[in-house]
Amino acid sequence: MAKVKTAFYCQNCGTQYARWQGQCNSCKQWNTIVEEIIQKEEKTAWKPTSGDGKRVSKPLRITEIDSAHEVRLDTTDGELNRVLGGGLVPGSLTLLGGEPGIGKSTLMLQISLKLPYRTLYVSGEESQKQIKMRAERITPSADNCFILTETKTQNIFKQIEAIEPEVVIIDSIQTLHTDYIESSPGSISQIRETTAELIKFAKESNVPVILIGHITKDGSIAGPKILEHMVDTVLQFEGDRNHVYRILRSLKNRFGSTAELGIYEMLGTGLREVANPSEILISHKEEELSGTAIATTLEGMRPLMIEIQALVSSAVYGTPQRSTTGYNAKRLNMILAVLEKRAGFRLGAKDVFLNVTGGINVDDPAIDLAVVAAILSSNEDIPVNKDYCFAGEIGLSGEIRPVNRAEQRILEAEKLGFSTIFVSKYNKISLKNTLIEIKLVAKIEDVAAHLFG
């Protein structure tokens, strides 16, 4: 038996030290360095079934490398396909993170039950009976899905050799452990080693692997930061437990864009894909109310229509309150200063509350104009026409700046039945024969004159 050694690892960033110290030199965090037992052995975690397992790569001229389009596996889930860039890439490693109870396991189990490929779903957190009960709610029968409850990687690889799955899902990476590291599951060295074994398996067998990862109280994926560097794709599943809608974002993607977004609705029978998010992000009212305006925003290649709600009231206390939900508070302060200085609206002594409906966070500057319209509507107590929408960025001098891909925003507004859209006059728009009226505005005063006379 090899000599047992100990090493000290930072639980925040994964840096290794020869002895304990109070502060990590890399991430500057205190009291995050712990001792872990390491046993050095020859690693035989994954052996390919064919060949001698020794591949020698040789350099190729860049002109000799085959640049043919990578074949992807269809997940049968349109939202997941969009976020991944078209589907699962063979041999890729995908990491899915999210808060406890948000629906990570439900999403992956739902995908594995509907995949037309032989799928192995490995769970280290639930028994087979628990998974069966959830699976019956989602879909009654699925012949291609195999359920394994195991946490030891050596046993998992034995079952993989027996079943020969085309897709492997691990729930979760923090529960796995390998015989070649003696520290407990979830430790820095165990996460790094088990992930390395799975990467070796995925690359040599060309089987895509999806890992579910826990997150810390700060919202980052638990374990060393190197975990996110090792995998090919990092997905974030987020939402509010009090809302039924969930958002799937891509934080890293070696095979596609990181700007795409998928939206789901949590139901008793699983997660439902939301094909038209604008329907859920715009509330339906029987009467027009002041303080609401519709903005056109983009998430990746997808245009969305979202509702901005504002409430302006006289300040009860000495200092006015500025509160936002789903919008940058500093940007709200900037817009209020522009309205005060450039447009002459007296809002310095009033409370301003701003909300983006649907529980989503938006950082697109193109919604600035809708924020201004909602604030002025609440201040004047005059409702904005429900058939109006806005797309424009507010500059510090009070001008309305052009936004990118304005034509795509206009076409989305037209498709959803809006009659008028306000955009910057500096946008170059070549659309013709559109049913929607395009109002070109240059300053905030122009918008106020159109809306409130």
Binding residues for ATP are 98-105
| Exposure letters 282-303 (e unless 16+ CB within 10 A, then b) | beeeeeeebbbbbbbbbbbebb
- Which residues carry a binding-site annotation? 98-105
What's the rounded Cα separation, in Å, for the pair 156 and 163?
A: 11
- Under 8 Å between Cβ of 24 and 8: no
Work out whether strand 388-391 and strand 420-424 pair parallel, antiparallel, or are unpaired. parallel
Going from the C-alpha of 104 to that of each of 107, 128, 216, 225, 248, the distances in angstroms are 5, 17, 15, 20, 10
What's the rounded Cα separation, in Å, for the pair 314 and 321?
A: 10
- Under 8 Å between Cβ of 90 and 73: yes
Work out whether strand 245-253 and strand 233-239 pair parallel, antiparallel, or are unpaired. antiparallel
Find where tokens 């079934």 sit.
49
Q: What are phi and psi of 304, to 5 degrees?
A: -130, 145
